[in-house]
């Protein structure tokens, strides 16, 4: 087993835990008291599947899992049989490199960025737009590309909330059937596959509120809306959209919209939260699906503030309900950014009940950053120094925001 351990030592530091597991189990493996002269020990490529399963369970990074699978065919086959927790996400930096957690290793995806003027993470794929308004869904790991049937025109500035307008397309949600685009306070959606359906646009009745985030939850599109200016005087409203493309020949689309949570005045603002002179109080809100719960993460936009609040959609009767503040994530971990927000279970390898948050602030020069917040303790957690050092990219592109990218564990 010596060559195997030396080979594993070439990997990122997260593999050290897997190496320790191999060493421990190797000492526990039964040994024969004697061998005949012609008998040879089984090669390390024939490790028992349960041993490989323990190795993979100690590898939260997708890059390390890929390296282990690449060793030989038996390992690759055995790995497919192991039920594994989802791998930790990558942080896609402003220079288009991928930062892996938890070790901070950098990877450059094989993507040609020339001609791309918009980049949004849709979870496991990237939503890209070129200068001709052509849109693509691209897997940055396999380079497979899917052209969306519609073009997105970003020149329309009607009803553009100034606080959010700098990003154009803020969020993209992709299912097997639809692509939903949060663009300048409105939700545009169209079928994922080619067809005669036009792009549909959803806005709040009366245009008194603007969409600030969207998420897919239990097969429905959830839309979080807030009034402008975003002063925090009331919690956002929640709308549930049921979208169906019915008749291809007549290009019929059915949308059923239900206001699940009405905007209601909230408790007085915390007077302990300082507000710099000449700065308006405003808030960032994010929808995150966490297991069977729909959460809303709230953060004031005051520079240096880390007062996260987490709310859950509760009392769901006939698709309606209310926001209830929670103080635990039930052991899960939230990864939150403007483009993409998701949660991972407790066995994913990340600290439990924590929020990994990528700030939206527009620094000059642009800087990549990540905040780790413990919801139970209401305290900040420290990222390893090698991770924070890796975030200091040399040539950041000011057009992009750092965002989370969730690889599929194939």
pLDDT digits (tens, 9 = 90+) for 225-281: 998 766 667 899 999 998 876 555 545 667 778 888 988 777 655 544 555 556 666
CA 329 to CA 310: how far, in whole Å?
9
Name the packing angle between helices 49-57 and 15-28 (round to 10°).
Answer: 150
Question: Do both 241 and 344 map to the same domain?
Answer: yes
Closest of 127, 17, 118, 29 to residue 68, by C-alpha: 17
Q: Is residue 261 part of a domain?
A: yes
Give the total number of structural domains in the chain.
2
Q: Are residues 291 and 267 in the same domain?
A: yes
Q: Within this chain, do residues 246 and 363 fall inside the same structural domain, yes or no?
A: yes
Domain assignment present for residue 272? The answer is yes
Q: Does residue 30 fall inside a structural domain?
A: no
Residue 269: DSSP 8-state: P
Closest C-alpha among 46, 49, 58 to residue 20: 58
Asked if the structure places residue 36 within a domain, the reply is no
- Do 98 and 64 belong together in one domain? no
Asked if residue 94 and residue 75 are part of one domain, the reply reads: no
Boundary (domain end) residue, out of 62, 80, 98: 80
Angle at 372 (CA atoms; ends 367, 378), nearest 5 degrees: 135
Counting every residue written for the chain, the total comes to: 410
User: Do the domain assignments include residue 298?
Assistant: yes
Residues 192 and 233 in one domain: yes
Quick one: 7 and 133 in the same domain? no
In a shared domain, residues 54 and 115: no
Going by the DSSP 8-state scheme, the letter that residue 265 receives in this structure is B
Handedness of CA 265, 270, 276, 278 (dihedral sign): positive
pLDDT score of 362 = 57
Yes or no: say if 190 and 178 are a contact pair by the CB < 8 Å rule. yes
Give which of 330, 297, 334 is closest to 312, Cα–Cα. 297
Domain co-membership, 362 together with 228? yes
Question: Is the Cβ–Cβ distance between 120 and 399 less than 8 Å?
Answer: no
Residues 141 and 207 in one domain: yes
Q: Does residue 72 form part of some domain?
A: yes
| Angle (nearest 5°) at CA 284 between 202 and 175 | 45
Q: Give the separation between CA 13 and CA 16, rounded to whole angstroms.
A: 6
The pLDDT score that the predictor gives to residue 63 is 76
The 8-class DSSP code of residue 365 comes to: S
What is the end-to-end Cα distance of the chain in Å, rounded?
Answer: 27
Task: Measure the CA–CA gap between 242 and 254, rounded to whole angstroms.
Answer: 8
Residue spans of the chain under pLDDT 50: 1-13, 25-29, 31-37, 156-166, 250, 271-272
- Which pLDDT belongs to residue 162? 43
148 with 76, same domain: the answer is no
Domain of residue 65: give its range.
2-25+42-80
115 CA to centre of own chain: 25
210, part of any domain: yes
Q: Phi and psi of 227, rounded to 5°?
A: -85, 155
Claim to verify: residue 57 and residue 162 sit in the same structural domain:
no
182-185, Cβ contacts within 8 angstroms, sequence gap of 24 or more: 182/211, 182/213, 182/214, 183/152, 183/154, 184/156, 184/157, 184/159, 184/160, 185/159, 185/160, 185/161, 185/210, 185/211, 185/212
Please report, to the nearest 10 degrees, the dihedral formed by the alpha carbons of residues 102, 105, 108, 110 taken in order.
-60
Domain edge (last residue) among 80, 98, 127: 80
Q: 232 near 273, Cβ under 8 Å?
A: no
Residue 33 lies in a domain: no
């Amino acid at each position: 087993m010596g060559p195997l351990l030396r080979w594993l030592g070439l990997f990122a530091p997260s593999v050290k835990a897997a190496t320790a597991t191999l060493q421990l189990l190797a000492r526990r493996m039964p040994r024969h008291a004697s061998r005949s002269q012609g008998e040879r020990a089984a090669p390390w490529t024939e490790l028992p599947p349960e041993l490989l399963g323990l190795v993979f369970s100690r590898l939260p990074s997708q890059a390390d899992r890929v390296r282990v699978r690449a060793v030989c065919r038996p390992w690759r086959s055995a790995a497919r049989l192991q039920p594994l927790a989802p791998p930790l996400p990558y942080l896609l930096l402003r220079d288009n490199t991928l930062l892996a957690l938890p070790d901070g290793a950098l990877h450059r995806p094989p993507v040609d960025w020339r001609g791309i003027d918009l980049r949004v993470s849709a979870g496991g794929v990237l939503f890209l737009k070129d200068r001709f308004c052509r849109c693509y869904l691209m897997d940055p790991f396999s380079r497979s590309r899917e052209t969306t049937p519609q073009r997105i025109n970003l020149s329309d500035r009607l009803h553009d909330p100034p606080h959010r307008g700098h990003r154009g397309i803020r969020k993209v949600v992709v299912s097997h059937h639809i692509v939903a685009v949060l663009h300048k306070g409105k939700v545009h959606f169209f079928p994922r596959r080619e067809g005669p359906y036009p792009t549909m646009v959803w806005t709040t009745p009366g245009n008194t509120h603007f969409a600030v985030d969207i998420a897919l939850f239990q097969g429905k599109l959830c839309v979080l809306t807030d009034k402008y200016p975003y002063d925090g005087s009331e919690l956002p409203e929640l709308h549930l959209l049921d979208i169906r493309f019915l008749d291809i020949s007549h290009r019929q689309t059915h949308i059923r919209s239900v206001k699940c949570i009405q905007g209601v005045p909230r408790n007085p603002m915390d007077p302990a939260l300082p507000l710099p002179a000449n700065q308006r109080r405003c808030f960032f809100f994010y929808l995150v699906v966490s297991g069977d719960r729909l959460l809303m993460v709230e953060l004031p936009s005051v520079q240096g503030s880390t007062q996260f609040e987490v709310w859950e959609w509760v009392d769901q009767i006939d698709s309606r309900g209310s926001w209830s503040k929670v103080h635990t994530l039930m052991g899960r971990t939230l990864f939150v950014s403007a483009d993409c927000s998701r949660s991972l279970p407790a066995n994913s390898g990340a600290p439990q009940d924590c929020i990994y948050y990528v700030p939206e602030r527009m620094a000059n020069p642009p800087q990549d950053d990540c905040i780790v917040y413990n919801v139970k303790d209401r305290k900040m957690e420290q990222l390893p120094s090698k991770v924070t050092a890796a975030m200091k990219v040399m040539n950041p592109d000011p057009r992009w925001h750092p965002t989370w990218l969730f690889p599929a564990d194939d």
